[in-house]
Chains A and B, each alone.
Chain A
Amino acid sequence: MMKSAEVLRLEQVFKSFPATLRGGPPIQILEGIDLSLERSSSIAITGNSGSGKSTLLQISAGLMQCDSGRVWFEEQEISALGDDKLSQLRSHSMGFIFQNSLLLDDFTALENVQIPSMIAGKSEKQAKVLAMEMLTTVGMQDRLHHTSDQLSGGERQRVAIARALVNAPSVIFADEPTGSLDEQNASLVEDLLFSLVQQQQVALMLITHNYSFAQRCDVVYHLHDRKVEVSS
């Protein structure tokens, strides 16, 4: 069971993948992972490429099923939820930021941020107001009507941050959010992400290679040899 302060809890999570598409002995990725994330706190997961960081994030967010173990999110066991409940949970309580901003390319920045609110049931007008506020917060008020291909990498990532936060989720799942940006832009996005997470009191689960970025989180876990350990 979850403690009252916890928003996310993983208990003895195991995950393996088949070695090849044709089968063969499975490759164990995660082994007995125990992890928790408290409200308004942040954790970072570091590790080498292929160590299973992204898999861990996806299992935590209910985007992938684990082989065994339990994942609790806001006092609900994710693996027991149906598609509609999971959609509802993603819409209201989770925000996602990926390495590549993954904006919807035939929608403007404003529409990209508007859509999550509309999915959550807000009217177009309400969603527009919220989206404009959020884009202003991330400094994109002058790029409201630009489509994805008219924005720079840093700008796209700022739109992605606004989109992740617009429904005031309880957790942001960020997978290498600065991985594709140059140093200057990466630093800007880092600052923006942490300031907004603190300001809006949102929990953050951050996957990164960048140790200095990870260190800005409350707890840093290192994923090594299929297990996580708290990094010193």
Chain B
Amino acid sequence: MKQPLFALLVKRKLGFGANRAAKRRILFNLLLITLVVSALVFAQMFVVSMSRGIADKYALLGNGHLQVHTTEPVDLSRYRAVIDVQKVGQSYALIYSPSANRMVRLKGVQDSYFSELRKEQLTMGEPYVQSESNLPQILLSTTLAKTLDVQIGDRVALMLVSQSSIRPQLCIVQNLYDSGYQELDANLVFSNYELMARLFQGKEETYYELLVEGDALEQTKRELKADGYAVTSWDEENYAVATNLNTSRQAVLGVMVAVAILCGYFISELSRELVEDDKYKIAMLTLLGATKRIIRRSYFSTVMVVTLVSVLLGTLLGMAFALNLSPLLSSIAARSIPSLAYYLLDFSIVIPWLDILIITLVLVGVSVISVLFSLRRVARIEPISCAHFD
């Protein structure tokens, strides 16, 4: 192997000691690939983080990660991965204010329900301080409050529907919460568990909501089922949402992979361009005795160095953008832009390593194949053709 020659050719092609035009071309391609990769990584991180954020909202505020359907008192905290157990009652009711009404899901929870983990998912207002009224208190979302045109401390009526009767119950809006995802909180009302039990007199659905460690959901579900419990997971309870999120994530990944394939193909254009511009030089080198193999390898290595550096820079840049997105999203969320009302803007960014690996590997893989393919043209350059260029 003619290592010194190979190193010299690669270094020069990469722009070290080369003229300005050669440097500019390499920098331009490096910049272009970096930007494409960073956009791909950023978009994938954004989509995955947003869909996980939505899933988290549903799991933490909607139904918990797992639901154990029993009314019997049970000790579910003994399961290894379970981090929180809450007994919950739920039913449906019509809520009335002087100006509007809405069908809502009424969820009766105990005081310990709003743990730190759940509070992280919420923005709460200042709670109503009860004076002389003995009316039961409920917790509405800001979205629902806006629909009903009520504030903290206002009165609303719940129309409780059971099989045998329909009866109203006046309540006071004790506080307003904002989950950041209106699709979820627009019809979710929290009340005290005892109040719920009293109002519905056992007609409400009662179950235990479990929060489990992230990767132990399926395992815990299996363990609970093995112990004879009727268990469902959040995605079974919210099948349409979970399926939509999953499909969207896969579709976006598919699009990203398609763009990565195009980008990989574009990289072969760089090698084609380099070879076209260097026909004379390649002919000269072969005339001087360099084998086509070493010339092809030097061009391949040059393009691959540009590709790998761009992929690395693009990945880092995309991750840096995405990881610093929260303040921007918060400021957008704070502006309450109507067209973004039903988008989740308040979520924490996660790094989907596997997706990023798939995108980058596809890009590098496609570029390796297409560059090797495009470098076949080196074999067609005859050594004597260098004499025809001047």
Interface residues of A (CB under 8 A from B): 58, 63-64, 83-84, 87-92, 94, 96, 98-100, 102, 104, 106-107, 111, 115-116, 118-124, 127, 163, 175
Contact = CB atoms under 8 A, between A and B. Distances in A.
Contact of B384 (A63, A84, A89, A115): A63
A154 to B, nearest CB: 16
Contacts of B284: 102, 104
30 contacts: A63-B382, A63-B383, A83-B292, A87-B286, A87-B289, A88-B289, A90-B288, A90-B289, A90-B383, A91-B289, A91-B290, A94-B289, A96-B287, A99-B390, A100-B387, A102-B387, A104-B281, A104-B284, A106-B22, A115-B5, A115-B8, A115-B285, A115-B288, A118-B8, A119-B5, A119-B289, A121-B2, A124-B8, A163-B288, A175-B387
A25 B206 CA distance: 97
Nearest to A118: B5
B291 A123 contact: no
B4 interface: yes
Tell me whether chain B's interface is mostly helix, strand or loop, or mixed: helix
A120 B4 contact: no
B54 to A, nearest CB: 55
A120 B4 CA distance: 11
Contacts, number: 75
Given A118-B8, A123-B4, 10 more contacts: A58-B384, A87-B291, A91-B289, A91-B290, A100-B387, A100-B390, A111-B8, A115-B285, A124-B4, A124-B8
Contacts of B325: none
B19 interface: yes
Interface string B251-295: 000000000000000000000000000000100111111111100
Contact of A106 (B5, B12, B384): B12
A157 B291 CA distance: 25
A106 B5 CA distance: 15
A137 to B, nearest CB: 19
A116 B8 contact: no
B346 to A, nearest CB: 54
B18 interface: yes
Nearest to B22: A106
B387 A98 contact: yes
Contact of A107 (B7, B12, B289): B12
Interface string B231-251: 000000000000000000000
Given A63-B287, A87-B291, A119 B2 contact: yes
A163 B387 CA distance: 16
B182 to A, nearest CB: 61
B386 interface: yes
A226 to B, nearest CB: 20
Given A118-B2, A123-B4, A92 B291 contact: no
B384 to A, nearest CB: 4
A171 to B, nearest CB: 13
Contacts of B285: 104, 115, 119
A111 B284 CA distance: 14
